[in-house]
Amino acid sequence: MMISEIPPSLILILGALILPFSKKLRPLFVLGLPILVLMKIWSLNIGDTITMQAFDLNLIPLKVEVTGRLFATIFAVMAFVGGLFALNQKRTEELVAAFIYAGSAIGVTLAGDLVTIFVFWEIMAVASTLVILSSSTKKSRKAAMRYLLVHILGGCVLLSGIAMYAADTGSILFENMTVNSVGTWLMLIGVLINTAAPPLSAWLSDAYPEASFSGTVFLSAFTTKTAVYVLLCGFAGTEILIYVGLYMAFYGIIYALLENDMRRILSYGIVNGVGFMVCGIGIGTEMALNGVVAYAVVHILYKALLLMSAGSVLHMTGKRKCTELGGLFQSMPVTTICAVIGGLSISFPFTAGFISKSMITQAAADGHLSFAWFVLMIASVGVFISIGLKYVWFVFFQEDSGLRPKDPPLNMQIAMILFSAICIGLGIYPELLYNMLPYAVDYEPYSVSHIITMLQLLLFAGLSFFMLLPIMKRMLAMSLDFDWLYRFFIPKMAKPIIEAGDALNIKVRACFMSILGSVIDNTVGYKAGRDSFTWILRTCGSIVWIMVMLVMYLLMCYYA
């Protein structure tokens, strides 16, 4: 295969493997690889495909479509800006894992079959786990293992669904599917796990904040957005997604309001934003799907910007709790301004969020989905309070903490300024984004009624925030999420049962050993009996193991 035929995803993945050996040229590779990938993406034409035969399967590792190319583009941009922000990161393994992670996400968006999607899906799971592990703390190691277990579960469910779907239809093509069989239901559930949908929502807020100051920025962009992409192209119009998305939107707001850790606040904000997208996919109209694509792009931009500002604070102060921060605007002006822009970009006029999220709410109104429209409007206000106001206010303005850190290194400032400029630029010139959407856009974001409505809601949000400030003020407690049930409650309740079972097992074994030992002692003597008994157990154990393996092998041959 010639270099010109290599898919963009493999360029980034293979390039990442060179990073440990690049030494002084590392900055050039870190910044150059995503640019090369971006150029490769846009050198492809809509409809270009690469096909291959493997294991009697007709695979399509590359299929360029409008939506996939836009997602691949924002992923490449995210890899570039994330790499720029992490340029001073001493752990090369984090950058290697992050670029493999980004390359795999691009692979999903340009895949034309379900098997290729699954392969890149699992590479993403491993690479993102390594990003978390790269933080090299006790908390990050535990969080990474929990994260990996959830994503292994999701991958197993997804693979089972793909196998059943292929058996039912005889096809592994990735196309829009109707959820009317066990296979499609399993695929839907497997993808929803990666969106942080209930009941396995807590993996995101558990794991993302434990990565390094730069690792969390990468994590915010790829896993949930590739899941949104697969839902968008594979399950658009599935009604149950409307209600799953509405739940996620409110779930993220409530926990963000209760949280004290600044990066956990922003992680819950990711769940809220993805909830909007999942709801829009459930609505399934052209307006809704345009809104989902636009909001996915914008969400990557402003959420990464907010997490870069939080990472800068963590990098310069070593602190992450709102109770330990405050008054940082006095010594970190660039970081503060970028954080404010990120917060405003959630919903404020002339920012990227204003021209994208509102397309989803408009689609709900056009479809006469009054309940969904009402909930989404309330959620828009709630997320502005819990993220746009709470995070920025407590970290940068509320009550001087006495800390006087400087703004972070220049590369980190440039990364934040770049995304700030894009957030404002897309807000002022929405056509730059609208022209890349999958369907023709018949929507005017800057109508007088829309501007007045949103300003009224945002004013209400601001007043509500300062009225609720005494209640939210610098809460010390860490909120209990759903994962408390399977991490603490269920194991604690099951512990007595497990201990009783172990005790019974020990007694039964001791009784069995005593009886057989006595029989052997009476026939061949004590020492010889014990040696013979041990030899018999080991031999029998080996024979049983060999027999089990032989039976499994024969069964595999038979069913093959």
Is residue 248 domain-shared with residue 218, that is, in the same domain? no
Mean pLDDT of 168-175: 91
Is residue 370 domain-shared with residue 456, that is, in the same domain? yes
Number of Cβ within 10 Å of residue 455's Cβ equals 13
Written as one string, the DSSP assignment of 171-184 is --B-------SHHH
Is residue 323 domain-shared with residue 343, that is, in the same domain? yes
The span from the first CA to the last CA of the chain, in angstroms, equals 32
Q: Looking at the predicted structure, is the pLDDT value of residue 557 above 80?
A: no
Is residue 427 domain-shared with residue 503, that is, in the same domain? no
Single out the residue in 215, 234, 253 at which a domain terminates. 234
Both structure tokens of 142: 């535990």
Chain segment 290-326, per-residue pLDDT in tens: 999 999 999 999 999 999 999 999 999 989 888 888 8
180's CB contacts (< 8 A; 6+ apart) are none
Report residue 163's pLDDT band, with 50, 70 and 90 as the boundaries: very high
Helix, strand, coil percentages in the chain from 3-state DSSP, rounded to 5: 75, 5, 20
Number of Cβ within 10 Å of residue 94's Cβ equals 23
Angle, nearest 10°, between helix axes 262-283 and 240-258? 160
Single out the residue in 479, 509, 533 at which a domain terminates. 479
Query: What pLDDT is recorded for position 13?
Result: 94
b vs e for 476-496, b when ≥16 Cβ sit within 10 Å of the residue's Cβ?
Answer: eeebebebeeeeeeeeeeeee
Q: How many domains does the chain have?
A: 3
State the amino acid at position 350 in one-letter form: F
CA-nearest of 151, 150, 175 to 233 is 175
Is residue 37 domain-shared with residue 151, that is, in the same domain? yes
Query: What pLDDT is recorded for position 502?
Result: 63
Is residue 555 domain-shared with residue 423, that is, in the same domain? no
Listed in order, strand segments (DSSP E) in 209-260 are none
Query: What pLDDT is recorded for position 524?
Result: 45
Is residue 292 domain-shared with residue 217, that is, in the same domain? no
State the amino acid at position 452 in one-letter form: I
The residues that bridge with 173 in the sheet, in sequence order, are 113
Can you tell me the distance from the alpha carbon of 72 to that of 75, in angstroms, rounded to the nearest whole number?
Answer: 5
Chain segment 116-160, per-residue pLDDT in tens: 999 999 999 999 999 999 988 888 999 999 999 999 999 999 999
Report residue 507's pLDDT band, with 50, 70 and 90 as the boundaries: low
Question: What is the pTM assigned to this prediction?
Answer: 0.86
105's CB contacts (< 8 A; 6+ apart) are 75, 120, 124, 221, 222, 223, 225, 226
Range of the domain at 464: 236-479
Single out the residue in 195, 217, 234 at which a domain terminates. 234
Is residue 170 domain-shared with residue 263, that is, in the same domain? no
Is residue 122 domain-shared with residue 142, that is, in the same domain? yes
Q: How many C-alpha atoms does 551 have within 13 Å on its Cβ side?
A: 6
Is residue 201 domain-shared with residue 260, that is, in the same domain? no
Q: Is the backbone of residue 56 left (phi > 0), alpha (psi -120 to 50) or beta?
A: left
Is residue 454 domain-shared with residue 365, that is, in the same domain? yes
Q: Are 433 and 297 in contact (CB under 8 A)?
A: yes
H-helix or E-strand spanning residue 62: strand 57-63
Task: Give the chain's mean pLDDT.
Answer: 86
Is residue 216 domain-shared with residue 246, that is, in the same domain? no
